[in-house]
């Protein structure tokens, strides 16, 4: 069984970066890179998932906002 952890750190912080490099150099841990999606890719995914609202007119949109 594998357990995952997420570490958030400032990449410009040399101490943090070197610490991560050291931990990975031990060979006990592995990394998993995730691809960061662009805003266009996120928008297209929202469309595919049906997370987009459509309105016939600006008045319809304003009614929804003010409701």
What's residue 21's pLDDT? 93
3-state SS class at 59: helix
Q: What is the pTM of this model?
A: 0.46
What pLDDT digit, counting tens, does each position of 6-55 carry? 889 998 999 999 999 999 999 998 888 777 889 999 999 999 999 998 89
Q: How far is CA 62 from CA 5, 52, 53, 65, in A?
A: 43, 16, 13, 5
Report how far residue 60's alpha carbon sits from residue 57's, in angstroms, rounded to the nearest whole number: 5
DSSP classification of residue 7? -
Q: Are 9 and 16 in contact (CB under 8 A)?
A: yes
Question: Do residues 29 and 23 touch, judged by C-beta distance below 8 A?
Answer: yes
């Amino acid at each position: 069984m594998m357990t995952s952890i997420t570490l958030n750190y400032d990449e410009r912080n040399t101490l943090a970066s070197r610490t991560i490099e050291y931990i990975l150099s031990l060979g006990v841990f592995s990394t998993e890179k995730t691809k960061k999606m662009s805003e266009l890719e996120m928008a297209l995914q929202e469309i595919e998932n049906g997370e987009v609202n459509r309105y016939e007119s600006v008045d319809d949109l304003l009614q929804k906002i003010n409701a």
